[in-house]
Structure 1
Amino acid sequence: MTNQGHLRLPAAVRHCCGLIPGDRVLLAADPRRDVLIVHPPAVLDDLLAARHAELLGGDLG
């Protein structure tokens, strides 16, 4: 963690997720499995759009 409270992700992780410096992400951890998942903004957009379409019916895109 930086002094500003930011988590620095290794370049390999950033490249794998299609992130550029400054992108915000959602981190989800499962300590029992020793797993940390990085959700980039585009993935969150897709997940939310699909969920909203499911809840509201029809295609929102």
Structure 2
Amino acid sequence: SPAPEASRSSYGAEPPRPVSPEDDVPEDDDPDLVDSALSGHDLIVRELGATVIDEFANEQ
């Protein structure tokens, strides 16, 4: 039977590595997220060039 470590590593990507606090602190010249924070429809339109064809209201 294979060792548990070898078996586990064959099932997918490595677990994320820990981030040191120094690497997790924003720099002074980093852009503010508030100016470019989009979500939902606006984000899809900007990033993918999406076009709304039709909208449906969920009425219950």
TM-score, normalised to structure 2, is 0.23
Bigger helix share: 1
TM-score, normalised to structure 1, is 0.23
Could you say which structure has the larger radius of gyration? 2
Higher relative contact order (CA 8 A, sep 6+): 1
Bigger strand share: 1
